[in-house]
Amino acid sequence: MFSGSAAAAYDRFVGRYSPHLATELCDAAGIEARQQALDVGCGSGALAAELARRVGAENVTGIDPSESFVEAARKRVPGARIVVGSAEALPFADDEFDATLAQLVVNFLADPERGVRELVRVTRHAGVLAGCVWDYRGEMTMLRTFWDAAAALDSEAADEGASMRFATPDELRELWADAGLAQVRVAPLVVEASYEDFDDLWQPFTTGVGPAGAYTASLQPERQAALRAEFARRLDSPDGAFTLSARVWCAVGTT
Ligand SMILES: C[S@@+](CC[C@H](N)C(=O)[O-])C[C@H]1O[C@@H](n2cnc3c(N)ncnc32)[C@H](O)[C@@H]1O
């Protein structure tokens, strides 16, 4: 699904927020030293790296269906066990982990309900299961502004805010509760990413990474240029370095 260069492109795209988000998600989940921790949909390994800092790489397992992401995560987190596979059919025993986390993943699962039940199965009794999804409809500034700019120029633009599941607190809470999790709490987490200039933000969109990148890459050059201009205008035409904030909804429950 992703080539090695696409994993690098992801890190310059939405993945730019992942290290900061991993810190916040681990804090929300109450990750403690020496826990056995699982990172589902580990991508290029930002969360696995943060987990390794907290529990030791030898106690971290990551899984992702993309071989090139798995390769990138293995390089990023030496000593961790990182395997190819899917949330819906985890190759792990019942009760194997103290903490299972899925950062920006459940909305991409083919069968999210089955996937979250699998996450519960591999987590021990009274363990923790935490996950988060961008606030696509509100305060994920980069993607929200991008899709608003796209919609202003193209009424057919496929806004992720309209299509992504579990992007509201109620829907995410229901996913956790329906999987049998107890003491479910949903809260916002806000993170930031920095850009050298507007091109630093824009260039990864043109590589086709993610739904917004795929949309950008599908446009003819003049329509792509118009979208770039409208996107920049809606961010107050940054001149030089700037920072964007992004909000997720985060669900934490007890197994
Ligand atoms: C937006 S990325 C998030 C990556 C990483 N967790 C992060 O925070 O940067 C979504 C990830 O979900 C993975 N994914 C897609 N379908 C999956 C599935 N069925 N099971 C597990 N992961 C899946 C993708 O390969 C990708 O790495």
Ligand 1 contacts (CB < 6 A) are: 14-15, 18, 40-43, 46-47, 64-66, 69, 86-88, 103-105, 108-110
Nearest by Cα to 193 from 152, 248, 230 = 248
CA of 154 to the centre of ligand 1 (A): 28
| Best residue among 61, 90, 108, 133 to mutate for probing ligand 1, ranked by most atoms within 8 Å of CB | 108
**Percent residues over pLDDT 90 in the chain:** 94
**Is it the case that residue 134 has pLDDT exceeding 90?**
yes
Q: Is the pTM of this model over 0.85?
A: yes
Q: How confident is the model at residue 1 (pLDDT cuts 50, 70, 90)?
A: very low
**Percent residues over pLDDT 70 in the chain:** 98
Q: Whose CA is nearest to atom 14 of ligand 1?
A: 41
pLDDT at 7: 84
pLDDT at 9: 87
Span 14-35, average pLDDT: 97
pLDDT, tens digit (0-9, with 9 covering 90-100), for 26-82: 999 999 999 999 999 999 999 999 999 999 999 999 999 999 999 999 999 999 999
Span 14-32, average pLDDT: 97
Q: How confident is the model at residue 2 (pLDDT cuts 50, 70, 90)?
A: very low
